[in-house]
Amino acid sequence: MRHNDEDQIEKLLRQMPKIKDDRDPKQIYKEIQPKLANSPRRSKIVPAFALVAALVLFALVAPMFLNNMQFDMSLSGSDSSSEESMDTATMNADDSAEDSAAVTSREALEEEEESSLKAEGEEESNDFAAAEISSAEGKSFVTPSYNIESEYAVTIGVSLMEADNFDHGGSSTPLTVIVPRGESDTYVDALNKVRGGIAYEDYGVNAPTINDNVKISEGDIGLDRPMPILDVTDMAKGLTSYQDIMFSKELSDTFSTNYTHILFSDNGSTKGVQVGNDVYNGPIELQTKNKRAYFKYHTGSLPLLVPGHERYLSIGDALTAMTSAPEQADTSKLEPSIPDTVKVESLALEKDKTVVRIKLADSSVLENNDETIFALEAMMMVAKEFGLRGVVFDSSQDGMIGTITLNEEVSVPYSPNPIPYSE
C-alpha cells in the first residue's frame, strides 16, 4: 500500500507542468553571491590540520609522505568543485568585463563632459571678449575715417543683383576695403590687390566690370596729377545695354574719390577705344554725384547703403525720401533707410553752415541696434552729399548709438559699406 502511494505521488509529480526560470544566470548569481559570502561554510582546512597533527608524529620518519598527502588533499578539494569553479570564474570574468566597461564608459563620459564644459567655458569667454571689443569699437555701416599714412580706403563700385529702377536701369554702390599701404603703393596698386579676392555674391552684388580682364595702372600723361589707365585689350567690350549703363556708374564709385579723370587703352592706343556703345579718344572726366538720398539693400550678409538716382534741393527733402522705398521694379529690393521708429523733427545749420543739427523727436525709439545705427549713418551720408563736415543728433536721450554719440558733433563718414579684408 505504501509502495502504491509512492507510485501515485510520483505519477502526480510527473503530470505537473514544467517550470522554466527565465532569469539571467548572471543576475541570479549576483543576487545570491552576497548570501554565499556571508553564510557559514564548512571548513576544509580544520580536518586537514587535524590530519596533519596526527601525521606530525611520523614527520621524523616520513616527511615526504606528509607533503604528498597535503598536496593530494589540495588537488582533491579543487577537483570536487571544478565545474562550479569554472562557471563561477566565467561569471566573475564577465562581471569584471562589464564593470570595467562601465568604469571606462563612465570615465570617458566624465572626460567628455569635462572637455565639453571647458570648451563651453572657453567659448563663452571668447564670446565675452568679442562682445567687449564690439562694445568698445561700436558697430558701423560706414567707414568714418582711416590712417592716410599707412592705409588706403579702396572703394569698389558694384551693381546690385536685385535692385532695379524704371528710369535708370539699375543701382550701384561702393564697397569699401581698408588696405595696408606699402611704401611706394598707389591707390591703383591697392585696388588691384583686393578687387579679385572679394566674394561679391555674399553681399548681393555683381563683380565689377573692371574684373573682366581689365588691367589697371596709374600713369602720368602731363596733367596736374596721375590718373588710372584701364587697358581693355582682353576685355569682352560688347556690353549689354544694362552693363553699358552700370559701367560708368561703377567707374565713378571706384575712382571719383581719388581721381578726376581716367583713360582707356586698347592694344597700346588711347584713341578710338570702344567699350559698349561708347568710343573714347582721351581722358574721361568722372561723373560727380551729390545731393542724393540713401536707401537700404539687404539681400546678402550685411545691409548696404545705396545712393538713389534723384537729386534733392535740401537735406530735409532727401531725408523725407528715405522714409519710404524709391520707385522701382516689382523685383527690386531697395528699402527705406529710416524706419518709422526714428522721426526727424527739425533741421538747422550751424558753425558757418558746415554742420547740420538734426533734431530727433522725443517719440523716436533710439536703440543701439542695427536698424537705428543704419538710419543715423544714412543721414550722415546725406550730410556728406550736401558738402557738410559734421552732424549733431539732437535728442532727449543721451549715450552711444553704434559709434555715434548723441547730442555731440560727429564727422561725416568717408565712405559707405565697409567690408572685411585680410591678406
Amino acid at 144: P
Average pLDDT, the chain: 79
More confident site: 97 or 305: 305
- Identify whether the C-beta of residue 141 lies closer than 8 Å to the C-beta of residue 417: yes
Grid coordinates representing 333 are 529690393
User: What is the pLDDT confidence band of residue 224, given thresholds at 50, 70 and 90?
Assistant: confident
Residue located via cell numbers 569667454: 125
User: What is the pLDDT confidence band of residue 19, given thresholds at 50, 70 and 90?
Assistant: low
Name the CA dihedral angle for 340, 341, 346, 349, rounded to a multiple of 10 degrees. -110
The number of angstroms, rounded, from the C-alpha of 175 to the middle of its chain's C-alpha atoms is 21
Task: Tell me the C-alpha distance between 56 and 65, whole Å.
Answer: 11
- pLDDT of the residue at 76: 36
Q: What is the pLDDT of residues 346-393, one digit of tens each?
A: 999 987 899 999 999 999 999 999 999 999 999 999 999 999 999 999
- Identify whether the C-beta of residue 231 lies closer than 8 Å to the C-beta of residue 262: no
Least confident of 91-95, 99-103, 129-133, 223-227: 129-133
Q: What is the pLDDT of residues 33-74, one digit of tens each?
A: 544 444 444 444 444 544 545 554 555 444 444 444 443 333
Q: What is the pLDDT of residues 101-133, one digit of tens each?
A: 444 444 544 454 444 444 444 443 333 333 333
User: What is the pLDDT confidence band of residue 287, given thresholds at 50, 70 and 90?
Assistant: confident
Sign of CA dihedral 337, 341, 346, 351: negative
Taking every pair of Cα atoms in the chain, the longest distance, rounded to a whole number of angstroms, is: 144
Task: Tell me the C-alpha distance between 293 and 314, whole Å.
Answer: 10
User: What is the pLDDT confidence band of residue 220, given thresholds at 50, 70 and 90?
Assistant: confident
C-alpha angle 132/391/400, rounded to 5°?
A: 25
The torsion angles phi and psi of 45, rounded to 5 degrees, stand at -80, -35
Going by C-alpha positions, the residue among 295, 270, 274, 293 that lies closest to residue 283 is 270
Report if pTM > 0.75: no
